[in-house]
Structure 1
Amino acid sequence: MARKVGRAIHLVCSTTVALALLLLLGAGYGPVPALGTALVPGGGVWASSSARTTVRTETLTLPELEEPVRVSFTAEGYASIEARTDHDLFLAQGYVTARLRLTQLDLQRRMGQGRLSELVGAAGLESDRFELSLGLARTARARWAAIPENSDSAKALTAYSEGVNSWMSSLRKTGEWPTIYGLTGVRPRPWTPTDTLVVQGVLTQQMNFNTIPLDYELLNRSLGPELTRTWFPVQAPTAQRPYDPGPYRNLPPTPLTVRNTNAADPDAAPTTPARPTPRPASAHKDVALPDSVRQLDFNSNAWAANGPKAAGGGAILAGDPHLQTTLPSYWFQVSLRSPGYQVTGGSLPGVPGVLVGHNKHISWSLTNAQTVGTLYYREKLSPDRPDSYYWRGAWRPMEKAHYTIPVRGGSTEDLTVDLTVHGPMMTVLDQKVSVNWMGNYAHNDLNALLAANRASDWTSFRTALRGWKAPALNFVYADDRGHIGTLLAGDVPQTPKGSRPWLPLPGTGTADVVGTIPQEALPEAYDPPGHLVASTNQRPTGPDYPYFLGTTMNFDPGYRQAVIERFHSERRGLRTEDYTALQNDVTDDLAVRLLPALLTALDGSGLTARQRAARDLLTTWDHTMGADSAAASVWWTFLDSYVHEVFQPWWDRKKVPADKDRWILDLDRSPIPLREALEHWTLDDPDNAAFTPPDGARRDAPQAMRTAFRTAVAELTDELGDRPAAWTWGKLHTREIPSITGAPGLGYEPYADGGNPWTVDAAGGELNSSFGPSFRLVVRWTGPGSAAAAAIYPGGQNETPGSAWYDNLVALWRKDEYLPLRPPNDAADTAATWSLRAGD
């Protein structure tokens, strides 16, 4: 019923959508509290309800343009921009993106700036306190100040801002603001280059900020150091699948040459500060870590093949970054053409250029490198001077960052953040630490992205990405000359030998960052003899790599990598349709590895009739997590039960505080290191002591598996009935695409679907998953300068629910159908055209 209501809302006109929002938000919902007087008839909400939602052919005047610009749209809403100058290209990109995604742009920058509360009231305070404490806005301002005025990035940022502001200027004249601004009476401020850098920082945070050292500290305190080292090791006990197997260079770390913009000045002279005056209780608050920040991306795929594996002997690339799927999407598909650029693919709303896609000669996609990017320091604080800390032999005063948080419908809140040389002081997972995060350094990553957009071969692409610092990403590459490659780009901090960066480090100066991994020593592969490069968030190097990249908590165990490699080992002459099929593959490689051991353990074990029926499902199963597969439900429920059967007694006895960070420590999420441990013990060490509960009778892996299997069958019977053949995976597992507003009627409601967190077509998070392939891309090079490309993403180009382009791409995405990735000069299938011209 909810799904039907949601679809009805999407199909009606914008006036009805505005009325639906009144009903949803009048009493408050999710992140948006009750809106009170904003709903009084005659207010701004009624003006916004008449805003146009259909893109039609028209001529528009943008004062800041230098020359005319043509913008064309396909029937599905994909935009293509052709400009005579690079300035006009990015101005038009900003204008088009703002016209279709203004609310998303504003919400993203508000989140990064710590100004959500100004729009949504007290519900935004937790997020605002966190973001202001971490300091994304401070970093963005410092980055903008450091960018040379005549650089490509400065020009692109300025032009993009002009385009966004041109659309907002029109809205100020017409009053047709997006509904949320009519409801609240709040208006978005003019866009600035700093805002784009804030939006870029938000993505960096979502991909690169984590709490892993603090989780290790919680495990050390509860499990103890020995079990923590054994069950959550730095290097996994199972075989890994690095894309760079070595040999490796061992070079000195590269010093960081730019400042941490959210840290105290390390060159300031130490002082002995006077006893501080007590601050008002409201002036300083410990900040909570929002759930959105704890979510880790373990599920992106990118691979490329060439030579005999690719049709025609050229090169073919596939990529599907996995992020939260939302309406509107993280992505805005666009084609860009000007004297300096001819590129098409997925852009990030708020950021000029294209993040994944292809130009005339090269194609690329990316995955999260998962490397260490967040270090925590336990500062030595003075007992009688709480605002001072001890570093390098002297007591030093903390610097202060002062903020005010406007709260709609409430009082303005003051926030003071203490800064040490390592970063801001924060209380995270109940631990008071300073935070040194690579996203807080004043680098110019946008310049690197724009240079990559213009690159024409591996050398120029690799050179461009030398300037990419955060987040650390794996870029996978293929070009029109048949070459393929992958490399890790970004800063990976290194601390002195003997320090343990997977734990909170001492803040006295003995474990400070000494630099980053040198560019020449970062993992990469180019035209390997196996004709395949693939990155799936796995550890990119072998165990003899001389630098610290992270622990088993950081990296994917390689199940998707194994499926991709096996697929390529069995095929030649691959075409686009082969790669779209692989992107939608739901084979569970952990089941491939462990299922024989389970079936052996169940042989002759005196199963009941229902247990035998469940076992029989597994004997003929093809290891795929299809929505219609009952065996998939048996396997998943068994694995969950197996994890709990082995580890829950230890968690209970040792009092592991899983509630402190359910994303990492909760057994319901089957933490990656524990899955790897179970795989290793089951296959290679079935008598491991972990199988025996504390103070329990001795047992081995087969005994634990039998108990877990019986528990799983009982759970499935309780939930799905007494017929194992009817226990289809789709009854347990669903996907949804929620609205960024949190309003259920505006999201794509849950539907039965296949996959799990470690299938190629991944579904991360809960059994009702909203994480998965956020942008599927396939590029096949058919000759010099000639590419056949296709893409799809689960969403639509327009954020307005009344638009035909709101969620029109979801049905295609669900059916595994792709649309041509339109090159910038392709006039086919044009449904509407905007002729942009300069003028007053």
Structure 2
Amino acid sequence: MAYYRRSSGRDVSFRQRLRSRSWGIFLIIVTIAWVWLLNTAIGPLPPLGKILDPVSGALAAAEPENKNYTDEERFPRLKGNASIWWDDRMVPHIHAASEHDVYFLQGYVHAYFRLWQMDMQTRAAAGRISEVVGMKAFDFDRKQRRKGMLYAAENSLRAAESDSRTRAMLDAYTEGINTYISSLSYRRYPLEYKLIGFEPEPWTNLKCMLLLKYMADDLTGKTDDIPHSYLRSILSPGDLALLYPDKIEGSTPVIPSGTAFDPPSLGRPTAPPDSVAFPVYRSTDFGYRREEGKGSNNWAVSGSRTASGAAILCNDPHLGLNLPSLWFETQLQCLGMNVYGASLPGAPGVIIGFTDSVAWGLTNNYRDVKDYYEIRPVKGDESKYWFAGKQVAYTTRTERIGIKGKDDFIDTVRYTIHGPLIYDEHYNEKGSLKRPLAMCWMGHRASNEIMAIYKLNRAKGYEDFVNGILHFECPAQNMIYADRAGNIALWGQGQFVNKWKEQGEYVMSGWDSATLWRELIPMRENPHALNPAQGFLSSANQCVTDSTYPYWYNGDYGELRAWRINQALAEMPKVTVEDMFALQNDDYSVLAGTVLPVMLAHSRDVQGNRYLDTMRRWDSRLQAASMAGSIFQLWWRNLYLGIWGDDLGRVPDNLMPSTERTMQLLVTQPDLKYYDDRRTKRKETLRDIVLHSLKQTTDSLDRRAKTQGLEWYIGKNTSVTHLAKLPAFSYNKLRTGGWGNTVNAMKGDHGPSWRMVVQMGHEIEAYGVYPGGQSGNPGSPYYADYLQHWVDGKYYKLLFLPNMSSQHNDRIKYTWSIKPE
């Protein structure tokens, strides 16, 4: 028989209390767990509680549109009163009575807007990213240490601090940065510090040098010594000269052909026997990382060729497209200096810009200043190597690499007479050379590029310009010049070695003393031109001189943009500022204009292909919305790989013949043996390979048309990406035209990082734009407010204030009045 006992009221009350107490304990446990979770870093993630804190967390980065930047500041170490006038684009015009105060305030302002960027870029240069992000950056950091980046920066710091002017410049700049850092609470940290979970550290003068070495490495880091050694082993001398000529036929060099060079003070050295390292390298010894189409442009037009009668200077260096932006616009004023232009957050002064008398710009020279040497270790003794028939002891440098969440990694880098042993039995990065290899780099030398910046920022004329750039040793740059007197000039500037023919073009024998770098070419003998008869000068990373220059050199040069620029300038009767805007944004492809008729001629019998019909009507302009641009670029790529892939597809760094050389061979050598595909039994002709590449292109475009549009800007996907690769703070598929083979060299993640046009008349008229904004804070309205202007090819008129005054200018929006404490 079933039965039950009815619970008493006392029993019910007890159970309720028990359940209530259990629930309370549960809530306490959950609360404790939640508090622990919010305040504990888990793996690479920072404590979420700090990020979600509504007062001091991520939301603190949000800035209102109408924020008032007007302020009065007091700093302890200023020598006098100063002012910062902020214009309508948040460009600071820094005015002070002394050099110290100008650089102090520049450092403070750079840190105010770009501290995290400065911190991360100098950490990257020094190989210290793993300290804040963990193992995912370890390989990068180790490579930086083994390249000798910190060693190079320390050498240059000694040179800069040995001069009282550049020492004072660096000291004041560093003081300004540290004054800002010391004022920060967690609430005011830049957002990325909170998201990644680390804190700012004090700035040092060394960090300024690290930033400059980071740029130098980016601009001189690529070298063809290793792939050339492989090519030398698989090609006959005739084929090597045919496919990889020292100079491209028809080059329009940086220094115009016919320029008279002074007699050389040094004789050309003779190549020693057996200078190239053996045994022969194999393709499996190397990685495949080559990227083409990067570059920069600059040019100057004399007053005799302009509508205004004033010289015009233009510059658009093509570098990585990142946010925060690479550059920071500024004007600096003190007694003896009034300069405006693009500065690098993390370095004092203005890098590209103009004074009230002269203007200057930079493009990369690409002359080879980095050579590799194979080293012969002493068997059984890791402390020594063979050199000049003797056992020589390495010098060593201990590199301690901090790794977030793990123990430090200790790496011992051995240095030879040539430089650091970047690859050895203890280190072979994936895809790298599996041999002991030392790197000899001009950037390792104790040079003082800060002095070049110091002098350029005060230049009053051509001699001041020359005296300034002679301190600029590495990276090699093509330095353009114009002044208010109507002069124009261009120098292929840097410190170079007097080499024998082919020295450094291949991996050298590191055990032979005859292969050492020896005499340095006096820099006043660097190739240059002043006021040429043609009335203009230009550089676009092409070959620097014609064959009459007395010193031998090699490098990695491109000609397509130079051909277009020089043709355009030669045909302009009276140049205007607007003409220069159009030329910087020019998207005409010399490549397409030259090779497309050949490709179409071999496809003339193809019927019913709608892509071919589009090609036949195309004007060879890679405009953003152009479907024809997408067709051509893909067709060309398939054709290029079809020609070279079977024979040279395994060349290290994908060093196949250049676009320019391939273009010339297609036009002039229709029966070249390389058109035959060695992977098939039949013998192919140029027509066969054109038709095969057309079919590949058609199939690919048909598939792509089903998933995305065929407009050119979609396929190339120009993107301005946050330095930490945070998608929410990045911009993708920007509606831009151009490519690496057009003057507007707008690629996926590289493009014009700063467009500048300056007309050096009675009143200087200057324009500029860059892809981003002044602020590094993603929560600021000034983070990317220039970006659309840049995408549209538009410019801002730059506000260049006369020294000592900002009065009566309606573009001044905010003022900082600054006094000593």
**TM-score calculated relative to the size of structure 1:** 0.84
Selected match of 1:759 from 736, 742, 758:
742
- SS of the aligned residue for 1:510 comes to helix
- 1:676 maps to a residue whose letter is E
Q: Distance in 2 between matches of 1:305 and 1:780?
A: 10
Aligned to 1:14: none
SS in 1 for 2:756: strand
Q: Secondary structure at the match of 1:111?
A: helix
Alignment correspondent of 1:430: 433
AA paired with 1:458?
Answer: Y
Q: Could you tell me how far apart the structure 2 residues matched to 1:392 and 1:45 are?
A: 67
Shift of 1:213: 0.8
Q: Does 1:38 align with 2:47?
A: yes
Tell me the distance in 1 between the aligned counterparts of 2:717 and 2:45.
35
Aligned to 1:58: 71
Decide whether the 8 Å contact of 2:50 with 2:194 is kept in 1. no
1:408 deviates by 1.6
Q: Say yes or no: does 1:775 pair with 2:754.
A: yes
Amino acid at match of 1:798: S
2:461 aligned partner: 457
150 and 211 in structure 1: CA distance in 2 versus 1, 3 angstrom threshold: closer
1:44–1:182 Cα contact (<8 Å) kept? no
* Structure 2 unaligned residues grouped into runs of 5+: 1-37, 269-284, 424-428
Q: Given that residues 316 and 584 in structure 2 are in contact (C-alpha distance below 8 angstroms), is that contact kept between their aligned partners in structure 1?
A: yes
Cα distance in 2 between the residues matched to 1:343 and 1:801: 29
Does 1:792 find its partner at 2:769? yes
Q: Does 1:688 align with 2:663?
A: no
CA-to-aligned-CA distance 1:484-503 (integer Å, 9 cap, x gap): 11111111234345645343
Deviation at 1:580? 0.9
Separation in structure 2 between the aligned mates of residue 385 and residue 332 of structure 1, nearest angstrom: 51
Which structure 2 residues correspond to residues 335-734 of structure 1 after superposition, within 5 A?
A: 335-427=331-423, 429-431=432-434, 432-496=436-500, 499-551=503-555, 554-556=556-558, 558-603=559-604, 605=605, 607-610=606-609, 613-651=610-648, 656=650, 661=653, 664-665=654-655, 673-694=657-678, 696-720=681-705, 727-734=710-717
**For residue 354 of structure 1, what is the amino acid of its counterpart?**
V
Per-residue CA distance 1:719-741 (angstroms, 9 max, x = gap):
22699xx8432342221100001
State the distance in 2 between where 1:745 and 1:774 align.
Answer: 21
CA contact (8 A) 1:495 1:501 kept: no
Question: 3-state SS of the aligned residue for 1:396?
Answer: strand
1:192 is displaced (CA, Å) by 1.4
- The answer for the alignment partner of 1:159 in structure 2 is 172
**Alpha carbons of 1:335 and 1:746: their partners in 2 closer, same or farther (altered >3 Å)?**
same
Secondary structure of 1:333's counterpart equals strand
**Residues 698-723 of structure 1, C-alpha deviation per residue, up to 9 Å, x if partnerless?**
44434432332333223222322699
2: CA distance, partners of 1:425 / 1:410:
26
Residues 402/371 of structure 1: CA separation in 2 closer, same or farther (3 Å cut): same
Letter in 2 for 1:647: W
Partner of 1:179: 191
Query: Are 1:733 and 1:752, in contact at CA under 8 Å, matched by a contact in 2?
Result: no
Cα distance change on mapping 1:761 and 1:42 into 2, 3 Å:
closer
Percent of paired sites with the same residue: 26
Question: What is the deviation of 1:357?
Answer: 0.8
Structure 1 residue 592 displacement after superposition: 1.6
* Whole-Å separation in 2 of the counterparts to 1:832 and 1:33: 43
Shift of the 407–290 alpha-carbon distance from structure 1 to 2, 3 Å rule, reads farther
**Residue of structure 1 in register with 2:789 after alignment:** 812
1:350 to partner: Cα distance: 0.8
1:600 Cα shift?
2.4
Q: Distance in 2 between matches of 1:505 and 1:43?
A: 59
Shift of 1:136: 2.1
Distance 1:706 1:514, change over 3 A: same
Q: Secondary structure at the match of 1:357?
A: strand
Q: 1:474-520 deviations in whole A, cap 9, x for unaligned?
A: 01111111111111111123434564534344432121111333323
Structure-2 separation of matches of 1:296 and 1:67: 50
Q: How far did 1:134 drift?
A: 1.7
What is the alpha-carbon distance in structure 2 between the residues aligned to residue 520 and residue 106 of structure 1?
36
Between stretches 160-169 and 683-692, larger displacement belongs to: 683-692
**Residues 549 and 749 from structure 1, CA distance in 2 versus in 1: closer, same or farther, beyond 3 angstroms?**
same
Q: Is the 8 A contact 1:297 1:368 kept in 2?
A: no
Secondary structure class of the residue paired with 1:719: helix
- Give the Cα separation in 2 of the matches to 1:146 and 1:222: 44
1:739-772 per-residue CA deviation (whole Å, 9 max, x = no partner) reads 00111111112234311111111123xxxx0100
Q: Which residue does the alignment assign to 1:144?
A: 157
Deviation at 1:462, TM superposition (A): 1.2
Q: Name the residue aligned to 2:16.
A: none
Deviations 1:81-128 (A, max 9, x none): 011111100000000010000001101111112221111122221222
Q: Aligned letter for 1:158?
A: D
TM-superposed CA distance for 1:547, in Å, is 2.6
Aligned to 2:94: 81
> What is the alpha-carbon distance in structure 1 between the residues aligned to residue 242 and residue 509 of structure 2?
21
The residue type paired with residue 523 of structure 1 is P
Aligned to 1:828: 810
415-424 or 33-42, which deviates more: 33-42
Q: 1:187 to 1:731 in 2, by over 3 A?
A: closer
Aligned-residue offset at 1:779: 0.3
Quick one: distance in 2 between partners of 1:103 and 1:701? Answer: 53
- Alpha-carbon distance, 1:577 to partner: 1.4
Q: Is the contact made by 2:704 and 2:710 (CA closer than 8 Å) also made in structure 1? A: no
- CA RMSD for the aligned pairs? 2.9
Residue 314 of structure 1 pairs with residue 323 of structure 2? no
Q: Does 1:235 align with 2:247?
A: yes
**Aligned twin of 1:90:** 103
Question: 1:787 Cα shift?
Answer: 0.7
For residues 45 and 219 of structure 1, what CA distance do their matches in structure 2 show?
A: 61
Distance 1:339 1:424 in 2: 44
**8 Å contact kept, 1:309–1:568:** no
Query: CA distance change for structure 1 residues 388 and 522 in 2, over 3 Å: closer, same or farther?
Result: same
Residue by residue over 1:46-98, the C-alpha shift from the partner in whole angstroms, topping out at 9 and shown as x without a partner, is 73532574561011121111111111212222111011111100000000010
1:35 and 1:183 in contact (8 A); partners too: no
TM-score by length of 2: 0.86
Structure 1 residue 37: Cα displacement = 5.3
* Aligned CA distance change for structure 1 residues 595 and 297 (closer, same or farther; 3 Å): closer
Deviates more, 1:239-248 or 1:137-146: 239-248
Distance verdict in 2 for CA 1:835–1:426, change over 3 Å: same
Secondary structure of 2:410's partner? strand
* Change beyond 3 A, Cα 1:637–1:51: closer
Q: How far apart in 2 are the matches of 1:800 and 1:706?
A: 51
Deviates more, 1:427-436 or 1:235-244: 235-244
Distance 1:239 1:753 in 2: 28
Alignment match, 1:47: 56
Deviations 1:180-200 (A, max 9, x none): 333455322211111111111
Does the residue aligned with 2:781 lie in a helix, a strand or coil? coil
* Letter matched to residue 522 of structure 1: N
Task: Go from structure 1 to structure 2 and tell me whether the alpha carbon gap of 1:823 and 1:379 turns closer, same or farther (over 3 Å shift).
Answer: same
AA partner of residue 698 (structure 2): V
Q: Which amino acid aligns with 2:617?
A: T
Quick one: distance in 1 between partners of 2:484 and 2:267? Answer: 34
CA distance, structure 2, for counterparts of residue 373 and residue 154 of structure 1: 27
| Distance across 2 between alignment mates of 1:547 and 1:502 | 18
